């Protein structure tokens, strides 16, 4: 009876808190609302935060805590809301320090905001509608968890934690764990060189176009899996400027695949799943019916808010840079910086690829995204593209996670 009474006091206290209302870019709206109103029906968009502490051993601190919706799931080191008091509004750092002290008995930790995500979900009559800041800190001291709030805690090796989240996801972890892991540790942009279709077919004594067809069938599952992981941009090199030099029969087979790609079930699935489709390259070289279909798909999906999928079509890296230089000469901007130059590339407005994956055993980029790949991590696999399934994709992601990105430092 006593435990239930304490738990109810905890929840009632939380419901009477006054939260700060913000837009999706964290601009304060000058308004406040009780926590209960922020979490009913559609909810009011408000400030929240998560804290992830790491020790010198490379372990992250996780906890299981009492929660209306996620009771007993593994969560981050601290999680709560930024509060309004009669005297002032908390900063993220103040709110996080309060939460760490109350939940885990931890004080005097230096915290840094390293990212954020907007999160909305409905659970019956309840909902979450938050701008959630991500704060990181280092801590090697003692922990004294509040047993009225926290069931248990554990220090877990960072790589093992990430691997387990990728495998278990909603079965074991709260949504905030998944969103935080995605924002901090996963690549935002993955670019693919889909190599090995022809060798895959030849080893099976099949016509070359069968290899391309099987490769084509790997695109949608890869997009779906990447989107599920939280990757924001995915780029496929589907046809290079040099591919026109292949045998006419093979080129014709590829054109027919593109007709099927941009007017058939693949595009229907991408549209249904809120995918935004863009192209890199000069598509005017394609047959007019294909060019028209591509343009229609790009136009029809331009307002979609899910993963952005780029198809590099008639793409060559040197050609892209020359095109950018020609546009700069024509438009004559007042100055040309790296940022301005990037605005003249096909990928304008998108982050550079964090990870480039090449299947098929070759270990070169072959002119793929030469400007954008300056600091990309490279992953080469002997697996041919038609065999590059979700497990192979996860291997590349886990390899990426294990690397320390220095960016020249």
pLDDT in tens, 84-135: 999 999 999 999 999 999 999 998 899 999 999 999 988 888 889 999 999 9
pLDDT at 174 over 60: yes
Q: What percentage of the chain carries pLDDT values higher than 90?
A: 78
pLDDT at 401 over 90: no
DSSP string, 291-327: HHHHHHHHHHHTT--S-EEEEEEEE-HHHHHHHHHHH
Q: What is the pLDDT of residue 375?
A: 95
- To the query of whether residue 195 is one of the catalytic residues in this protein, the response is yes
pLDDT at 6 over 80: no
pLDDT at 7 over 90: no
pTM reported for the whole predicted model: 0.81
Q: What is the pLDDT of residue 69?
A: 77
**189-401 CATH, one of 3.40.50.620, 3.40.1180.10, 3.40.50.2300, 3.30.420.40:** 3.40.1180.10
pLDDT at 33 over 70: yes
The angle at the Cα of 185, spanning 173 to 39, to the nearest 5 degrees, equals 45
pLDDT in tens, 323-382: 999 999 999 999 999 999 999 999 999 999 999 999 999 999 999 999 999 999 999 999
Averaged pLDDT, 67-75: 86
DSSP string, 94-109: HHHHHHHHHHH-----
- Cβ-based neighbours of 326, under 8 Å, separated by 6 or more: none
From the candidates 126, 146, 243, 273, give the one annotated as an active-site residue: 243
Banded model confidence at residue 53, pLDDT cuts 50, 70, 90: very high
The CATH homologous superfamily for domain 2-185 is Nucleoside Triphosphate Pyrophosphohydrolase (3.90.79.10)
Q: What is the pLDDT of residue 407?
A: 67
- To the query of whether residue 243 is one of the catalytic residues in this protein, the response is yes
From the candidates 195, 293, 352, 354, give the one annotated as an active-site residue: 195
pLDDT in tens, 366-378: 999 999 999 999 9
Average pLDDT over the chain, rounded to whole? 92
pLDDT at 393 over 90: yes
Domains of the chain, by residue range, sit at 2-185, 189-401
pLDDT at 8 over 50: no
71 compared with 82, residue with greater pLDDT: 82
Q: Read off the tokens for 307.
A: 């993963």
pLDDT at 12 over 50: no
Quick one: how far is CA 358 from the chain centroid?
A: 20
């Amino acid at each position: 009876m006593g435990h239930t009474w304490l738990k109810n006091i905890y929840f009632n206290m939380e419901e009477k808190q006054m939260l700060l209302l913000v837009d999706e870019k964290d601009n304060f709206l000058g308004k406040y609302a009780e926590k209960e109103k922020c979490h009913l029906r559609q909810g009011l968009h408000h400030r929240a935060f998560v804290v992830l502490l790491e020790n010198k051993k490379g372990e992250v601190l996780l906890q299981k805590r009492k929660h209306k919706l996620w009771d007993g799931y593994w969560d981050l080191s601290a999680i709560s809301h930024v509060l309004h008091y009669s005297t002032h509004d908390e900063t993220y750092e103040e709110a996080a320090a309060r939460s760490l002290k109350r939940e885990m008995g931890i004080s005097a930790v230096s915290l840094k905001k390293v990212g954020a995500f907007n999160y909305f979900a409905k659970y019956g009559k309840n909902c979450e509608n938050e701008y959630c800041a991500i704060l990181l800190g280092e801590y090697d001291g003692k922990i004294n968890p509040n047993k009225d709030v926290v069931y248990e805690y554990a220090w877990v090796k960072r790589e093992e934690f990430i691997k387990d989240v990728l495998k278990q996801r909603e079965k074991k972890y709260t949504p905030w764990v998944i969103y935080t892991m995605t924002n901090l540790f996963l690549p935002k942009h993955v670019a693919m060189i889909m190599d090995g279709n022809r060798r895959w077919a030849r080893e099976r004594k099949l016509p070359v176009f069968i290899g391309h067809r099987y490769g084509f069938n790997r695109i949608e599952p890869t997009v779906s899996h990447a989107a599920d992981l939280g990757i924001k941009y995915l780029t496929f090199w589907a046809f290079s400027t040099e591919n026109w030099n292949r045998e006419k029969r093979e080129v014709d087979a590829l054109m027919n695949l593109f007709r099927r790609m941009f007017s058939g079930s693949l595009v229907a699935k991408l549209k249904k799943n809120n995918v935004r489709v863009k192209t890199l390259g000069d598509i005017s070289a394609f047959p007019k019916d294909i060019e028209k279909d591509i343009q229609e798909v790009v136009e029809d999906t331009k307002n979609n808010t899910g993963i952005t999928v780029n198809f590099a079509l008639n793409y060559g890296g040197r050609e892209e840079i020359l095109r950018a230089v020609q546009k700069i000469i024509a438009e004559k901007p007042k100055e040309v910086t790296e940022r301005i130059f990037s605005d003249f590339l096909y990928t304008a407005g998108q982050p550079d690829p964090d990870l480039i994956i090449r299947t098929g055993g070759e270990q070169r980029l072959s002119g793929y995204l030469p400007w954008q790949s300056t600091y990309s991590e490279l992953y080469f696999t002997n697996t041919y593209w038609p065999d590059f399934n979700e497990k192979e994709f996860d291997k590349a992601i886990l390899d990426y996670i294990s690397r320390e990105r220095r960016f020249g430092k």
